[in-house]
A and B are shown apart, each in its own frame.
Chain A
Amino acid sequence: MGYLDRQLAGRTNPAEDAGWQDAPSRKGFFTDTSICIGCKACEVACKEWNGIPLDGLTISGNSYDNTGDLGASTWRHVAFVEQSQDRIQAARESGKRLVDLGMPSIGTPEPAPEPAGAQPAGYGTLPAPIEGHGPALSDMLDEKANVEAGGTGDYGLTVDGVPIVGPVPEFRWLMSSDVCKHCTHAGCLDVCPTGSLFRSEHGTVVVQDDICNGCGYCVGACPFGVIERRTDDSVSVTADAHVPNVGVAQKCTLCYDRLAHDQTPACAQTCPTTSIKFGAHEDMVASAKERVVQLHEQGFTEARLYGANEDDGVGGTGSVFLLLDEPEVYGLPPDPVVPTAKLPEMFRTAGVAGLGLLGAAALAFIGSKS
């Protein structure tokens, strides 16, 4: 029963579940949005390597984001979110609230330092602001010295109870490179009627272009809105003006072709800030956890992980993200659940309805004679 139970929801090793024997370690991304600079090199590298056509050259009017969202011809998408002070404050509060709720956390390297004696953390510490822009450096140094001397004041605290020195910035950009999540329980893969979507030996989800029949069911079944059917609006970038795979579902393959040769996916290899990291899934989750602790120590209480929990609605995602605000701010679902998790219930209800139909028909025909 265990094997069947694991098919639709819960913790599992997806490659093993799909029948791979001696599968290599599960691969995944860790996208650290706190060091993303929004250069879009990942978008370009992905397009270049995978030969993805253009889907229009437009200005969306949404900050520096001219790509819009993930889709058939956009397998990496950099989101730009402009935030003012009150939004940053709200993000800090919501991040701290997660701690108060006792959200799961594993492997905190050290016990929380004592509030009084600990090094103050804060927005103002690194790097120092230019004079005349933002808070004066001297004020912040005074504040820091005051905290270190055991002085009291109206300081915010990090999740570890360390006082945060320095004001919240008046403005910030959140940049985040989004990608297919390669879920442990992938909605798209589960509902594909042709077997075109398959689980690779690396635990990732890949589309076979020649088998996809373009029904579009995977599009609706993805709780993250990643996979899409390529439309004929796409523009070729090759000399022969050929647009491949029109009418076929397309999404990130986690560079299946490169993985087969022990290469790093194009986006991760090109990322100049190492915001996109690639490797064994467990290493990625571990480094994500390490990084979020580091950020919390620096006073960035808004930092949180997305997709690192194996008990969530999709059994954990292959691509883990470090976010600096609520997921919906980045266009990510706050509580994604793979729709097929409820499939037994749906089939049961439909079965009852079908039996009801047969019963109703029997009732309608009782006592009827030609």
Chain B
Amino acid sequence: MTTSPFDSYRPPETGRRRRRASGVRGAVSGATREVAKGARRSWMNREGGGQREAPAVPDAEFSSYYGQPVVKPVPWDHRISAYLFVGGIAGTSGIIAAGAAATGNELLRRNSRLTSMVTVGLSGVALVADLGRPERFLNMLRTVKLTSPMSVGTWILSGYSAFAGVTTATEVLGMLPARGPLRSLARVLAPLTAPATVGQALLGAPLAAYTSVLLSDTAHPVWHESRRQLPFVFVGSAALASGGVQMLLAPAGHTGPARRLALLGVGTELLAMHRLEEHLAQLHIDEPLTSGKGAGKLRLARALTIAGGVGTLLAGRSRLAALAAGAALTTASALTRAGIVEAGIESAKDPQYTVRLQKDRLEERRSRGVVHDSAVTVR
């Protein structure tokens, strides 16, 4: 069916109307992009070879401007997903390290301190790689801005790195023969280690959690609307991943607390993710999570989380089973981050999510008689 008399010459539409890889909306923007890349295209068929409907008619569901995104997707890629992943492990490893130091679990303390240093270093590398040049990181240290989660996060990351540096140095010095300048360095570090351990644990929690605010504080429908669930998804994911890493590094006898933390993380993440999906489904913007580009990753992540959790419970003293479970948990965390990043970007690229959400919101307010706060006014 055509919606306009000007379209009477068009062939009838075929295929599904609601969701398509390159339908009316996608076709236009997709075609634009392909033209920019120099793809071949005739003026008449607009990339579809005459098979697809030409994109002059607005979509029946809602009116959009030729399928152009209403909000711009952030120019972030896998490096930011990697940053979120290693940042989570870093933060929670610092907490594990503090717990291990408090309970006198030396192997776990050493491993988790080293893990936290390596991962926090990697997160810095990922961040700089995303920014392009190292000195650009310094631009963020010019100012403290509480309205910017990224600025807050930069300071959390910097403070955490400083504490992690002290605790890791202590750990490394302990492994080296104590002589000469190393001995005096160890003497300097000794009184600093305990406060640094506490500081690392206290900053570890915000380091693991702030990235959820980083994503939520955008106009991307999926990220912004999951602001109540995403922090729990991310800390759960961080807990299970750092637990998983410790399971990979040490035999079961030493990693009891890490495994218990991983199990708590599995429970939290699964529950929070379920609630997140339910919430987005209520708002009718869950498609990017359930059938979009990131959906496969999220599904695999859930399967691996469950498998890793069950493995952690049942592995007992088996080193091999613990290795498999740890690897599953770590991979699950990486996939969750990547899946959520991709789903959010997809929700920004397609105007239907933005417009549907906002129109529903507006309609709901108007039905309650609230009309004073609309961007559109009659006069």
Can you report 17 residue pairs joining A to B where beta carbons are below 8 Å apart? A61-B43, A61-B55, A62-B55, A68-B68, A102-B371, A103-B379, A170-B5, A190-B148, A305-B377, A309-B372, A317-B375, A328-B70, A331-B70, A335-B358, A343-B147, A358-B202, A360-B239
Indicate if the CB atoms of B201 and A223 lie closer than 8 Å: no
Q: Is B14 an interface residue (CB 8 A)?
A: no
CB-CB contacts below 8 Å: A207-224 with B: 211-217, 219-224
Which residue on chain A has the smallest CB distance to residue B108? Answer: A370
Alpha-carbon distance between A332 and B201 when the two chains are bound, in angstroms: 45
Residues of A within 8 A of B274 (CB): none
Interface residues of A in 256-303 (CB under 8 A from B): 289, 292-293, 296
B154 / chain A contacts, CB cutoff of 8 Å:
193
* Distance from B326 Cβ to chain A, minimum over Cβ atoms (Å): 15
| New A-B pairs, 8, CB < 8 Å, besides A191-B149, A191-B217 | A98-B378, A195-B145, A217-B214, A219-B72, A323-B376, A346-B216, A356-B268, A360-B261
Tell whether B227 is near chain A: CB-to-CB under 8 Å. yes
Mask: chain A, 94-105; 1 = CB below 8 Å from B; 0 = not: 010011011111
A357 touches B92 (CB 8 A): yes
Residues of chain A with a CB closer than 8 A to B374's CB: 103-104, 309, 312, 335
Q: Is the CB of A60 within 8 A of B376?
A: no
Contact of A309 with B375 in the complex, beta carbons under 8 Å: yes
Q: Is the interface of B mostly helix, strand, loop or mixed?
A: helix
Chain A residues with CB under 8 Å of B136's CB are 213-215
Taking a contact as CB atoms under 8 Å apart, the answer to whether A213 and B70 are in contact is no
Q: Is the CB of B103 within 8 A of A365?
A: yes
- A233 located at the interface, meaning its Cβ lies under 8 Å from any Cβ of chain B in the complex: yes
B28–A61 CB distance below 8 A: yes
Is A120 an interface residue, CB under 8 A from the partner?
no
A61 engages B105 (CB within 8 Å)? no
Interface string of A316-344 (1 = CB under 8 A from B): 01000001011111111111100110110
The answer for the CA separation of A364 and B209 in the assembled complex, in Å, is 19
Asked whether, in the complex, the Cβ of B219 is within 8 Å of the Cβ of A194, the reply is no
List the A side residues contacting B68 at CB < 8 Å. 68-69, 331
Q: Do residues B359 and A191 form an inter-chain contact, with CB atoms below 8 A?
A: no
Q: Is A13 at the interface (CB under 8 A from chain B)?
A: no
Question: Does B143 interact with chain A (Cβ within 8 Å)?
Answer: yes
Answer whether residue A119 sits at the interface, using C-beta atoms and an 8 A cutoff.
no
Q: How far is the CA of A331 from the CA of B25 in the complex (A)?
A: 12
* Interface of chain A residues 47 through 77 with chain B (CB within 8 A): 56, 58-63, 65, 68-69, 71
Known contacts A187-B219, A358-B201, A369-B104, A220 near B140 by CB under 8 Å: no
State which of B46, B73, B348, B377 has its C-beta within 8 Å of the C-beta of A309.
B377
Q: Once bound together, how far apart are the Cα atoms of A184 and B377, in whole Å?
A: 17
Task: Determine if A217 and B375 form an interchain contact, defined as CB atoms under 8 angstroms apart.
Answer: no
Contact of A213 among B139, B258, B378 (CB under 8 A): B139
Cα-based distance from A152 to B79 in the complex (angstroms): 69
Instruction: Tell yes or no: A368 within 8 A of B by CB.
Output: yes
Q: Which of B30-38, B185-193, B328-336 contacts A (4 or more CB under 8 A)?
A: B30-38
Q: How large is the interface on B (under 10, 10 to 19, 20 to 34, 35 or more residues)?
A: 35 or more
- Bound Cα distance from A62 to B46, whole angstroms: 10
**Is residue B6 contacting chain A, with contact meaning CB distance below 8 A?**
yes
**Looking at the complex, which of B171-179, B228-236, B301-309 is the stretch in contact with chain A?**
B228-236
Contact at A305–B379, with CB atoms within 8 Å? Answer: yes
Which residues of A lie under 8 Å from residue B64 when comparing CB positions?
A: 328-329, 331
Given contacts A334-B376, A335-B359, A353-B209, A361 and B99 within 8 Å (CB-CB): yes
Establish whether residues B63 and A325, one from each chain, have CB atoms under 8 Å apart when the complex forms.
Answer: yes
Taking CB atoms and an 8 Å cut-off, the chain B residues in 8-34 that contact chain A are: 28, 31-32
Give Cα A357 to B260, complex, Å.
12
Q: Which of B216, B256, B261, B359 contacts A339 (CB 8 A)?
A: B216
A277 to B179, CA, bound (A): 76
Report the tally of A-B residue pairs with Cβ distances under 8 A.
Answer: 347
A235: min CB distance to chain B, Å: 11
- Please list the residues of chain B having a beta carbon within 8 angstroms of any beta carbon in chain A: 3-6, 28, 31-32, 35-36, 43, 46, 55-56, 58, 62-66, 68-76, 92, 95-96, 98-100, 102-106, 130-132, 136-137, 139-140, 142-143, 145, 147-151, 154, 201-202, 204-206, 208-210, 212-214, 216-220, 223-224, 227-228, 231-232, 234-235, 238-239, 254, 256-258, 260-261, 264-265, 268, 348, 351, 354-355, 358-359, 361-362, 366, 371-379
Find out whether the CB atom of B372 lies under 8 angstroms from the CB atom of A61: no
CB-based contact B71/A347 at 8 Å? no
The CB with the most chain A CB atoms within 10 A, among B43, B202, B208, B377, is that of B377
Q: Name the B residues within 8 Å of A323 (CB-CB).
A: 376
A368 contacts B256, C-beta separation under 8 Å: yes
Query: Contacts of B71 on A, CB cut-off 8 Å?
Result: 220, 222-225, 333
Nearest residue (CB) in B for A309 is B377
Cβ of A159 under 8 Å from chain B = yes
Known: A333-B70, A353-B231. A220 touches B348 (CB 8 A): yes
Let me know if B375 and A334 touch, CB within 8 A. Answer: yes
Give 8 closest A-B pairs by Cβ, nearest first: A331-B65, A220-B74, A354-B205, A105-B379, A353-B231, A220-B218, A213-B136, A364-B260
Q: Are A365 and B102 in contact (CB under 8 A)?
A: yes
Q: How far is the CA of A353 from the CA of B73 in the complex (A)?
A: 27
Query: Using Cβ atoms and an 8 Å threshold, which residues of chain A touch B378?
Result: 95, 98-99, 103-105, 159, 292, 304-305
Complex Cα spacing A86 to B4, Å: 8
Given contacts A194-B140, A247-B132, contact A84 B6 (CB under 8 A): yes
Let me know if A7 and B147 touch, CB within 8 A.
Answer: yes
B231 partner residues in chain A, CB cutoff 8 A: 346, 349-350, 352-354
